[in-house]
Structure 1
Amino acid sequence: MSARYPAARPRRLRRTPALRRLVAETRPRPEELILPMFVKEGIDEPQPVESMPGVVQHTRDSLRAAALDAVEAGVGGLMLFGIPAHKDERGSAADDPGGVVQQALRDLSAELGDDDTVLMADLCLDEYTSHGHCGLLTLSGDVDNDATLERYADIAVAQADAGVQVVAPSGMMDGQVGAIRAALDHAGYTDVAILAYAAKYASAFYGPFREAAEGAPQFGDRSGYQQDPANATEALREAELDIGEGADMVMVKPGLAYLDIIARIADTATVPVSAYQVSGEYAMVEAAARQGWVDRERAVLESLVSYRRAGARQILTYWAAEAARLLR
């Protein structure tokens, strides 16, 4: 062979869609996708979220319908976020047996079988407190870590009473997993799993979510308890601590700007690693697609492949139901 021609031709395996499918290294699957869903108390019809086209705040009835649709599409899990009619400094609705998430969990538990999908609930206080922070406040306005742990423990038991299969503490309080695990075990819920937001960064990509969940802080921000985007080693420590306290899965949030963090945690974690494709990522793709600047469908699937390639075993995404159908 003449030296002017290449001996190796990797393009051979890229020639046709069938060849590319045959040798693809990474394939997200529908059952690895988790759909975040918002349910709001006191509304009569679903309320569109302006900054997230296609996403709504559900009524209990519309939540049931959307959940059944997602299950039919093949998604692996549903993650519930609640928006109560009344908020106070303690976030009392978060563990109220008649609270919006507890009612929704009972609805879906009755509607869906354990084999259909995994029923999850966010466990935090920001959607429920009048001040919008993830915990109880001291007189000086700081979040009281240890007092907040007691609230988280009560919320976990209330969600378990309502039929949750996985609780997902997202407040980034020190010791939250251990406190929740102890409370669940003491209440007899040893089979309820914990998906810990182990590395949740103080990110600029959460804006649309705060509209959807109506949980923006009324003063300050959450950088005092969420991680600094500059830090990577800290995320490894947080994941290790959560696993040591009993986390069954750990999560990185956001995802796309933190693929390196996903990869580093996945390399060492002894439990499944999840990632959250957050509202800002969703909103950017949707906005660009509406302008014709990106191919929406390709961008959605490419982003999911990047998460999976980095090592995420489960992906929370607002495109879960649509992507599940595309992947099938």
Structure 2
Amino acid sequence: MSILTIPKLADEVFLRPIIISMNSLALSSLMSYVMSANGTLDWRPITICVTSDILAMGADHLKDKEEEFSSDRKNAHDPRLASWFIYARTFLIASATLLALALSQCPISTLLTTAAFVAPALLWTTPISFEKFGLISRRLLGMFGGDMHQSEQPTPAPVLVIKRIPGMKAIFNGIIRGCGIYTVVLSVLSGSGNLTNTLPSPWNVVQLIVWSTVSRSCHAIMTDVRDFEDDLKVGVPTIPVLLGSVLKTKVILTACHMLVMLAFIGNPYITGSCLFAAVLVWMLGKDSPKKAFLFSSHSQSLFIIWYLTRQYLQL
């Protein structure tokens, strides 16, 4: 078992969530700009998407590190390490406060949309027991005349962990950051009457949703490539483990990026992003440093910055 240190804790609960959320910052900024009627950036959907990303990822990492911290008795005698958990909770509370502030300035549809996409992310590693649902149903049956006195011992209720469902990591990452960001931006702009009917060239709605969803799903699978050996040993059913090969996984990821590129070949920003992502698929592997995979999370960001920079230079 690796030793929990302050640099490791800071990386997991501060640095990594912030860096990953910068993709949501770039993508929500792009969508806000091209979907607005007056070509401006709306701070509300951008803040919602960034803080939601930080909360979902930061809470997940913090939970893992708290379990690691409590499992080692030596940590109890390290007050400096314990204080960093306080900093981490403060950071998450600040993010939640910013999220609440942004949501308070938006229509109710934005709140419902955000909740629908953030809830699965927050429950990502939480064991969901069906025991309570069974207890409620038995009580309801008893109220309506059902037999509450069963002689046999009740069967233990199954426990569901979303993260352990094969393919869910890739699907959820893609939908939350692709469809989720688009829906949040749409609800905010439509609620303020600033939604355009036609997106500026070379963009359209289908491009934004498909490109974002596929890109984020592929990145999620790339992180599973990094952990292939460990996941294979403990039997975690990730896509590479199910395929039984890192090579097969890379071929499929490359095909996904190439299909998106060919579908939207007229958009140079999507073309460049897909080519860059495909190159990273083959450059990064199970022996690559963990931080190197952050480049994969920003295969979109670099080209979004290129587009927005060109637009502002033309003003």
With structure 1 as the length reference, what TM-score do the two structures score? 0.27
